[in-house]
Structure formats: structure tokens, C-alpha cells
Chains A and B, each alone.
Chain A
């Protein structure tokens, strides 16, 4: 086994020395994700599709390995070791825990992370502009300011914004803290309700009735899994529910100015391609979400007691109905 590694190393050095970028040689991309989840699965699909479009086709000139740790930290660690052991050309780590485990295991292999909200706080990179080591990627930090703009535009009278979040989810906590700070800067208040698992989301949403004039949901995995519970409370109590991700609009939220995790995956795939073509991850700045789309659901708005104006409908990239 050691001999194989040595052989690969010698081979790689020789190739690099000769300056040969052989297009017909098979490259390997290993993708690890912490858990099966619609958003994270969409990222994976996006990476695959982007690679294929850029001419790296799985099974032809590219080998894609994909593992999920099913939410288990010890398995995530073993997946990381497995990938590092096979020394692929690029490792893609989806979500914060997978990315950290990968960062601890991979010393030299290039790692591109995806769906990580706070890469600096998670100590994955030294700074967003100059990651430094062998790791860079795409952050899914929400454009909170633009979301608040949307809230103010659609519910101008709202003074208190409610949100349901899981205090155990790193991404969600970071977002809620940011949301609170930005709302206060505009003279609005945030009412928080905690739900540590999906079964607690309904109760948490009910606790916002009477306090919140509108409800805004971040990309909290726990809460989004039970978004219907929040929507049902919003409909009964006539509190409009907004989301940060567009998929929740077809599940009954009024509107979202969001990005698609599939596009997020495509963007990640773009970075993978750059590394496959020889770029150094340490010198590639961390990218953030680039495309935003406004999704609105006029029926849901009506059920929650607000009317969407004509120009909002005109601005929307997509007008959806519940259940679409």
C-alpha cells in the first residue's frame, strides 16, 4: 500500500515536471456529506452536473466517490480517512461538520467545502479572501439584508419578526444572531422560538402567536424539515410566513428571496473544476451565493392575511402555488 502511494507520488511529480495536463487521464473527485437531506443532496447533484458540463464525466474521464455519514460523527471521520487514503484530485465536503473532519484529516489534498455558513468561525480558512491552506469553498451565508428589505416591502407595519430555530445547529445559530443584529439596526425586534427537533417546531411556532407580526425562517435544517407546521400556524393566526429558501414557498410560505442549493452545488462544482485544472485552493477566495431569485405564493399570502401588490408579482422570478 505504501508502495502504491509512493508510485502515485512519483508519477504525479513526473507528470507535473513534464508539465503535462493530460485531458484523457482519469481524475478522481471524492464527495462527503454529513447527512442525507434534500438541500445537501441538491448540492451533490449540482456539483456532478457542473463537472459533467465542464467535460468531466463520471465513469469516463472522471471517477466520483460519494459517501454520507448519516449524521454520525465517527463515520464522518472514517469517510474522511478513506478519502484521504485514496488521494483523489479534489475532495468536496458538504456542510460544516464534514468539512471540519475533512480539514483535520487532509493535509495536502485539495478540499472544496460547500453549504458552510461561517467558514472563518469554523476555522476552515484563515480569511474569506485568502484561505491560506489546502481548503476553500462556497459559503451559503444568506443575504440577510436583502431578506429584511423584502420583509419591509411586503409587511411594512411589522415591528416584531418571529423566527423558529434549532439552537443545536451551528449554521442556524449563526444566522439567527446575524438576523437579530441586523433587525435591531433597523429598529425592529426579533422574537426567537427554539425547537431542538422537528416534533417541537409546531409548539415553537405557536409560541410566536401574539408576539410576532411576521415569521421569517432561516435555512435551519430542523425547522425547514417541519416547515408545514409553521405555515399552518401562520394561516390560522394570520401571520405571514417568509422563508430564506425558495423550496419552502411551494410548501406554503408567502415569499422567499433565495438561492437554490442546486445552484450552490453548481457554483461549488465550478471551483472543483478550477482545482482540477491546476488552481491552488489556498489562493482561491471563498465564494458566496451569486444568484438570488424571488419566489412568491399569492394563495399562501391570502391565507395569511396579506395581499401581494402587482409590482411584487412582476418582480417575482417565479409565482408558485402550494404543493407545486
Chain B
């Protein structure tokens, strides 16, 4: 069975990836913009936060700078798409590979250790909580604040304009919405959230590493789709909650897989399990609707 520490560890990582899933929700769902920049903006956030913390910055300010760096990366992708007419997927791949070099430049080396530095977590360890519970508490707060802010943003006039841009760009333009600006803002916001996730992950893991962005997009998508399979995302708030739930469920599934000696599963099977879970999550709702559709047709 899962130990306490493994359970809290899964929730902690799930909360961080919940922020990634928020970002992917904005790009993939709200804007319909398949954005792979996140594989680069996650370590970018980690790198910026790590270097500033080492330079003696307050860890929260460093984390804020990581958000801005992520937003800049997202803006680059969106500008390549909007202003230079490069296909969105390709634009994001270009930014992603460019960020690999940028991240190495920022850190000056591939791995920056934070093990002995003061991080956003340090003051919280004075609370009368177990060592493994502290990050969960802090990250729950961060995720809640982000969720409320995002929800309110999506209901604001700008947020509605952004959603209209993703739903039907031509109609949105006809309504006088500057769709290009909305795409730039949305993709920047999305990558800002991913930068935040990267910054928090580096601080809880004790190091920023240039390779830590590998597969972030796949895990984020898996969380998003998994969450949508659990909670029908018919309103913004439900969609955002689904992101967090999906990310935590995904991490719990991995924690159980790591403990599933009795099933003969090992960690090297995780990539396959991920692929199967994502496929099921995509296919199952479709099967449900097609069965429902068949019944309604029979009735008619």
C-alpha cells in the first residue's frame, strides 16, 4: 500500500502539474492553440527562479520573475504565429527548442542545485506539520489562488473575448475583438502558469535541471483529458477543477503503479500505462455519447 509520504508526494506533484494543466487548458481548450512551448517554459521557470534565488532574491520575487519569463516565452510563440503567420504547432516547437539553449544560457550549466538555499517552502517548515505535508499545504493555496484568479479572468470582458476568439475567430473579429492580441495574451498567460509550475517544482525538488521539461506537455494533456473524463467541463469553473483533479489522479495512478508489485508492474511500464490511460480517457466519453446518440435515434 501507499505510505503517507508517497501519498502526499503524489498530491504535491499533482498540484504542481495542475498549474501546468491550467496552462494547457487555456491554450488547447480556450484558444484551440496546440502549444508545445510548455516543454521549454517549465524548465525556463525553474531556471529563472533558481538563478535569482542563488543571487539572493526573495524566493517569491524569484517565482514572480519565473512567471514573467514563462509569459515572455509564450508571447514569442504567439507572435511567431500571429504576426509571422507560422503554423501554431510549428511556432511552439521553434520556441521550445530555442528555450533549451536559452535555459542553458540562463543557468550557465545544466543543473543548478537549490538544496541548501532558502525557497518559498523554507518558512513553512516551522509549522507544526510533518515534513512531507508542508509543500502540499502551500501548493494547495497557490493552486486555489490561481484557480480563482483564472476563473474571474475568464468571466471578465477580456476573458470572454479570449474565449470567443478560440470558439470562432471570424465571428469574434466581426464583433470587433482583436483576435491576434487575444491569442498573444492567452498563450502568454498559459506559459506564465507553466513557468510558475517549473519554479515551484525546482524549489520542492532541490534543483533546476535543463532536462526537467521532457514530457511536460504529455503529462499536462493527460491530466487535462483525465480530469475532463471525471468532471464534465461544461462551465469554466468545472473545467479548471477538472484540471487539478486530473493532475492529482494521474499522479496517484503513478504512485499506485510504483507500488503495484503485485500486478507485476514496474516503473519502466509507466509510459505505456500513461498512453493507455490517455487513450481510454479520450475514447470513453466518445463511446458514451455514441451510445447515447444511438438511443436517441431509436426513440425518434
Which A residues are closer than 8 A to B by beta carbons?
1-2, 5, 36, 67-75, 77-82, 84-86, 96-97, 100-101, 103-105, 107, 121-124, 167-170, 173-174, 196
Give residues of chain B (6-62) contacting chain A, Cβ–Cβ below 8 Å: 6-10, 13, 17
The answer to whether B109 touches A170 (Cβ under 8 A) is yes
B162 to chain A, nearest CB (A): 29
Do residues A70 and B267 form an inter-chain contact, with CB atoms below 8 A? yes
A85 touches B3 (CB 8 A): yes
Instruction: Give me 7 other A-B pairs in contact (C-beta within 8 A), A71-B211, A78-B251 excluded.
Output: A73-B212, A75-B254, A82-B5, A82-B9, A82-B258, A85-B2, A100-B207
Residue of B nearest to A35 (CB): B211
**Which one of B70-78, B198-206, B281-289 contacts A?**
B198-206
Chain A residue numbers with a CB within 8 Å of B258 are 67, 78-79, 82
The CA-CA distance from A5 to B111 in the complex, in Å, is 34
Please tell me if the beta carbons of B201 and A122 are within 8 angstroms of each other in the complex.
Answer: no
Residues in A with CB closer than 8 Å to B267 are: 67-70, 75, 79
Is A82 within 8 A of B109, CB to CB?
Answer: no
Q: Is B104 an interface residue (CB 8 A)?
A: yes
Given the contacts A70-B268, A167-B104, A167-B110, A97 and B10 also touching, CB distance less than 8 Å: no
A73 to B7, alpha carbons, bound, how many Å?
Answer: 17
Q: How far is the CB of B17 from chain A (nearest CB, A)?
A: 7
Please give, as numbers and ranges, the residues of chain B lying within 8 Å of A5 by CB-CB distance. 3-4
For the complex, give the distance between the alpha carbons of A68 and B271 in Å: 12
Closest-CB distance, B275 to chain A (whole angstroms): 13
In the complex, which residue of chain B has the Cβ closest to the Cβ of A102? B206
Count of chain B residues near A, Cβ 8 A? 45
Query: Do the beta carbons of B266 and A196 come within 8 Å of each other?
Result: no
Q: Across the two chains, which residue of chain B brings its CB closest to A76?
A: B205
In the complex the two chains form, what is the Cα distance from A121 to B209 in whole Å? Answer: 13
Contact A74–B219 (Cβ < 8 Å): yes
Q: A105 to B116: give the CA distance in the assembly, Å.
A: 13
Tell which of B104, B132, B219, B266 touches A81, judged by Cβ atoms closer than 8 Å: B132
- Chain B residues within an 8 Å CB radius of A2: 4
Check B249 for interface membership: any CB of A closer than 8 A. Answer: no
Can you sample 16 A-B contacts with CB below 8 Å? Answer: A1-B4, A5-B3, A67-B258, A70-B271, A72-B215, A73-B212, A75-B270, A78-B10, A78-B251, A82-B255, A85-B5, A85-B9, A100-B111, A100-B209, A103-B115, A122-B113
Q: Is the CB of B4 within 8 A of A100?
A: no
B151 within 8 A of A: no
Say whether, besides A85-B6, A169-B110, A170-B110, A103 and B206 are in contact (CB < 8 Å): yes
> How far does the Cβ of B258 sit from chain A's closest Cβ, in whole Å?
5
Interface centre among B5, B100, B219 (most CB of A within 10 A): B5
CA A242 to CA B207, docked complex, whole Å: 33
| Closest residue of B by beta carbon distance from A82 | B6
Judging by beta carbons under 8 Å apart, are B205 and A77 in contact? yes
Identify whether the interface residues of A are mostly helix, strand, loop, or mixed: helix
In the assembled complex, the CB of B124 is this many whole angstroms from the nearest CB of chain A, namely 15
Using a CB-CB cutoff of 8 Å, which residues 246-264 of chain B contact chain A? Answer: 251, 254-255, 258-259
Which residues does chain A contribute within 8 Å of B84, judged by CB atoms?
none
Task: Name the B residues within 8 Å of A174 (CB-CB).
Answer: 109
What's the Cα separation between A75 and B271 when bound, in Å?
11
Contact A74 B13 (CB under 8 A): yes
CA distance in complex: A101, B204 (Å)? 9
Taking CB atoms and an 8 Å cut-off, the chain B residues in 148-181 that contact chain A are none
- When distances are taken between beta carbons in the complex, the residues of chain A under 8 Å from B214 are 71-73
Q: Which of B225-274 contact A (CB under 8 A)?
A: 251, 254-255, 258-259, 266-268, 270-271
For the complex, what is the distance from the CA of A30 to the CA of B3, rounded to whole Å? 15
Per-residue A-contact encoding for B99-138, CB less than 8 Å = 1, 0 else: 0100010000111011110000000000000011000000
With both beta carbons as reference points, the residue of chain A lying nearest to B42 in the complex is identified as: A73
With A67-B258, A104-B204, A104-B205 in contact, is A78–B13 under 8 Å at CB? Answer: yes
Pair B116/A173 contact, Cβ less than 8 Å: no
Given A2-B4, A67-B258, A104-B206: A168 touches B268 (CB 8 Å cut-off): no
Which residues in A have their C-beta under 8 angstroms from that of B212? 73, 97
Question: Is B210 interfacial (CB 8 A cutoff)?
Answer: yes
Indicate whether B300 reaches chain A with its CB closer than 8 angstroms.
Answer: no
What's the Cα separation between A84 and B1 when bound, in Å?
14
Give CA–CA (A155, B110) in the complex, Å. 32
Looking at the complex, which one of B9, B100, B114 makes contact with A80 (CB distance below 8 Å)?
Answer: B9
Q: Which residues of B contact A75 (CB under 8 A)?
A: 254, 267, 270
How far is the CB of A285 from the nearest CB of chain B, in Å?
Answer: 19
A196-B99 Cα distance, complex, nearest whole Å: 13
Is the CB–CB distance between B3 and A67 below 8 Å?
Answer: no
Q: Which residues of B contact A85 (CB under 8 A)?
A: 2-7, 9
Chain A residue numbers with a CB within 8 Å of B266 are: 67
Chain A residue nearest to B207 (CB atoms) is: A100
A108, B132: Cα distance in complex, Å: 13
Question: Are A77 and B13 also in contact (CB < 8 A) when A2-B4, A101-B205 are?
Answer: yes
- A34's nearest neighbour on chain B, judged by CB, is B211
Q: Which residue of A lies closest to B203 (CB)?
A: A104
Is B254 a contact partner of A78 (Cβ separation < 8 A)? Answer: yes
Contact yes or no, B211 A168, CB < 8 A: yes
Counting chain B CB atoms within 10 Å of each CB, the highest count among A2, A70, A82 belongs to A82
Known contacts A73-B201, A82-B259: A123-B13 contact under CB 8 Å: no
> Closest approach, in angstroms, between the C-beta of B263 and any C-beta of chain A?
15
CB < 8 Å neighbour of B110 from A71, A107, A168: A168
